[in-house]
């Protein structure tokens, strides 16, 4: 009797559970396309594997950037060019910072959903402030902010520029090149 109950129970499970298991594992169109993309990628990697460099100029440039800007009190010389080709400049303590940079994570994952988090000022952003930069004047500490795009570009240097195109640059902030040269 026990054996027949077990066989009957197994048959019921197979009849009820079989389709349920099949529906859980059926492949969706997205799954098929994902597999196709991965298969194509695997094929291309086999035909054209990534090369190996003996030396990385990119890593060297990043390390030089770290050495240049990783010093407290380092001044940055920001030259702004407008649509007419005219230049102006700011001298700032450290690098100009895009307003979309944050000290806290902008998102958190909860139950597989990505949730936006408020910024340090208690508000939310869409990252649309990445073309606005801010920093602090080299000698007065005054807050300065500028935007780029729409016919305005900026060029960043760690020393004042003496090239002809920069020689007519107007001082846009409190600190002049001469003032910065006096700073220890």
Residue 157 vs residues 40, 78, 87, 170: alpha-carbon distances, Å: 44, 7, 14, 16
Quote the pLDDT of residue 19: 53
Q: Which pLDDT belongs to residue 122?
A: 85
pLDDT, residue 119, reads 82
pLDDT in tens, 10-34: 555 555 555 555 555 689 999 999 9
Q: What are phi and psi of 137, to 5 degrees?
A: -55, 145
Give the pLDDT confidence score for residue 173 in this predicted structure: 96
What is the predicted pLDDT for the residue at 100?
86
- CA 66 from chain center: how many Å? 17
Strands (E), 35-142: 75-81, 87-98, 107-110, 113-116, 132-137
pLDDT of residue 97: 94
- Opening angle at CA 78, ends 82 and 58, nearest 5: 110
With a cut of 50, list the residues of the chain below it in pLDDT.
Answer: none
Name 76's bridge partners: 92
């Amino acid at each position: 009797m026990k054996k027949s109950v077990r066989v009957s129970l197994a048959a019921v499970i197979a009849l009820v559970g079989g389709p349920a298991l099949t529906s859980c594992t059926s492949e969706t169109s997205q799954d098929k396309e994902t597999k196709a993309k991965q298969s194509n990628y695997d094929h291309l990697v086999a035909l054209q594997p990534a090369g190996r460099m003996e030396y990385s100029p990119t890593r060297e440039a990043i390390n030089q950037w770290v050495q240049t800007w990783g010093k407290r009190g380092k001044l940055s010389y920001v030259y702004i060019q407008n649509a007419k080709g005219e230049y102006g400049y700011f001298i700032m303590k450290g690098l100009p910072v895009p307003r979309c940079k944050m000290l806290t994570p902008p998102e958190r994952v909860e139950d597989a959903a990505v949730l936006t988090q408020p910024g340090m000022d208690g508000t939310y952003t869409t990252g649309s402030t990445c073309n606005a930069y801010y920093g602090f004047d080299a000698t007065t500490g005054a807050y300065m902010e500028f935007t780029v795009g729409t016919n305005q570009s900026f060029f960043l240097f760690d020393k004042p520029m003496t090239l002809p195109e920069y020689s007519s640059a107007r001082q846009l902030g409190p600190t002049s090149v001469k003032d910065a040269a006096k700073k220890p």
